[in-house]
Amino acid sequence: QVQLVESGGGLVQPGGSLRLSCAASGSIFSINAMGWYRQAPGKERELVATITSGGSTNYADSVKGRFTISRDNAKNTVYLQMRSLKPEDTAVYYCNLKAITTLRAAANYWGQGTQVTVSS
C-alpha cells in the first residue's frame, strides 16, 4: 500500500507564506513525478505545480513567481513553498504521486488534502 501524508496547511493573511509537505511511503519502486493540485469550492481540481524525477518543474500560470516546488528524493517528499498568498489561493491542496510500484505497475496516488485558507 502506498500512502501520502500531507501537512503544512492552515490559515494565513494575504501576503503571507506557507510551506506544504507531502511524504510518500509504501510499495514504491520509483517515482516519476510528484505534484500539487488544488480544488476550491465550486471549481474543478487544478494543477498547481509538478516536479519530475529529473527535477523538471511545471507551474500553473496563477502561481508562477510565487510558489516553488521542490523535493527530497531520499525522503520521497515533495514541498510547496507558497509566498505572497492571495485569497484566490484558498483551496484544498492535494498531493499527487505518479509512481512505479514494486510490482512494476504505473499508478497514481492522492493525499488526503490539506486546507489552505488565505483571509484577512
Task: Indicate if the alpha-carbon torsion angle 59, 14, 111, 55 is positive or negative.
Answer: positive
Q: Which amino acid is at 58?
A: N
Tell me the percentage of the chain whose pLDDT exceeds 70.
Answer: 100
Quick one: pLDDT at residue 63? Answer: 98
- DSSP letters along 46-106, please? EEEEEEETT--EEE-TTTTTTEEEEEEGGGTEEEEEE-S--GGG-EEEEEEEEEEETTS-E
Does position 17 have pLDDT exceeding 90, yes or no?
Answer: yes
pLDDT in tens, 41-100: 999 999 999 999 999 999 999 999 999 999 998 899 999 999 999 999 999 999 999 999
Task: List the Cα angle 12/72/104 in 5-degree steps.
Answer: 120
Q: Which of 43, 25, 45 is nearest to 97 (CA)?
A: 25
Q: Helix or strand or coil: residue 110?
A: strand
pLDDT at 119: 96
Average pLDDT, the chain: 96
Residue 36 pLDDT > 90: yes
Cα–Cα dist 35/17, whole Å: 18
